[in-house]
A and B are shown apart, each in its own frame.
Chain A
Amino acid sequence: MKKHYILTAVAALALSFGSCSDFLERDPDQILTEDQVFSDANMIKSVLANYYGRVTWGQHINDSYAYILLDEACRSDGGPDNTQSFGDAQWRVYDYGLIRNINQFLAGVRAAKVLDKDVQLSVEGEARFLRAWTYFNMCRGMGGMPIVGDEVFDYKAGMDVTALQYPRSTEAELYDYIIKECTEIAPLLSENPSVNGARATKWAALMLKARAAVYAGSIANYNNKMVSPIKTAGGEVGISADKAKAYYEMALASAKEVIASGKYQLQNTKPNDKGKNFYEAVCVKENNKEVIWARDYKYPGQTVEFTKLNIPATHAEDIDRCMYSPILNLVEAFEYVDNREGSIKTKDAQGNYIFYDKPEDAFANKDARLYGSIIYPGAPFRGMAVPLQAGRKSLENSVWVSEVAKGGTTDAQGNVITSINGPTTTNDQFINKSGFFFRKFMDETPMSSTRGRNSDMWFPRFRFAEAVMIAAEASFELEKQADAVTYINLVRERAGIQPLTVVTFGDIVQENRVEFAFEDHRYWDLKRWRIADKVWNGIPNDPNAQQFALFPYVINEPGNPNNGKWVFDKQPVHMAPYPRYFQPKHYYNFIDQGWINNNPKLVKNPYQ
Chain B
Amino acid sequence: MDNYDEPKSKLYGKVTYNGETLGLRGTGEAIQMQLYQDGFELHDPITVYVGQEGTFEALLFDGEYKLVTKDKNGPWVNSRDTMVVNLKGSTECEVKVTPYFTISGDAITLNGNTLSATCAINKVVSTANIDRVMLLLSKTSFVDEVNNIARKDFTGLAAGNTSLSMDLAGNTNVTEAKALYARIGVKTSGADQAVYSKVIKLK
Contact = CB atoms under 8 A, between A and B. Distances in A.
Contacts of B151: 539-540
Nearest to B153: A539
A597 B43 CA distance: 7
B44 interface: yes
B66 interface: no
If over half of B's interface residues share one DSSP class (helix, strand or loop), that class is named, otherwise mixed; here it is loop
Nearest to A229: B190
Contacts of B129: 227
A347 to B, nearest CB: 17
B70 A228 contact: no
Given A84-B146, A584-B192, A597 B42 contact: yes
Given A228-B191, A593-B44, A607-B192, A538 B146 contact: yes
Given A84-B146, A540-B151, A597-B42, A585 B189 contact: no
Interface string A565-608: 00000000000001001011100000001001100100010111
B71 interface: yes
B168 to A, nearest CB: 13
If over half of A's interface residues share one DSSP class (helix, strand or loop), that class is named, otherwise mixed; here it is loop
A597 B44 CA distance: 8
A607 B191 contact: no
Interface string B27-52: 01000000000000011100000000
Nearest to A533: B192
A97 to B, nearest CB: 22
B72 A584 contact: yes
A604 B73 CA distance: 14
A84 B72 CA distance: 21
A345 to B, nearest CB: 24
B43 A600 contact: yes
Nearest to A586: B192
Contacts of A539: 151, 153
Given A228-B72, A581-B146, A606-B71, A596 B192 contact: no
Interface in A533-554: 538-540
Interface in A199-249: 226-228
A409 interface: no
Nearest to B128: A227
Contact of B72 (A578, A581, A593, A606): A606
Contacts of B146: 84, 538, 578, 581
A85 interface: yes
Contacts of A85: 28
A321 B191 CA distance: 43
Nearest to A228: B190
A604 B68 CA distance: 15
A89 to B, nearest CB: 15
Interface in B136-170: 145-146, 148, 151, 153
Given A228-B72, A540-B151, A607-B71, A583 B192 contact: yes
A596 B43 CA distance: 8
A227 B189 contact: yes
Contact of B71 (A538, A581, A600, A604): A604
- The residue in A226, A578, A596, A607 that gathers the most chain B C-beta atoms within 10 A of its C-beta is A607
Contacts of B189: 227-228
B4 to A, nearest CB: 21
List of 6 A-B pairs having minimum Cβ-Cβ separation, nearest first: A228-B190, A227-B190, A227-B189, A584-B192, A597-B42, A607-B72
Interface of A: 84-85, 226-228, 538-540, 578, 581, 583-585, 593, 596-597, 600, 604, 606-608
8 contacts: A227-B129, A540-B148, A585-B72, A585-B73, A597-B43, A597-B44, A600-B43, A608-B71
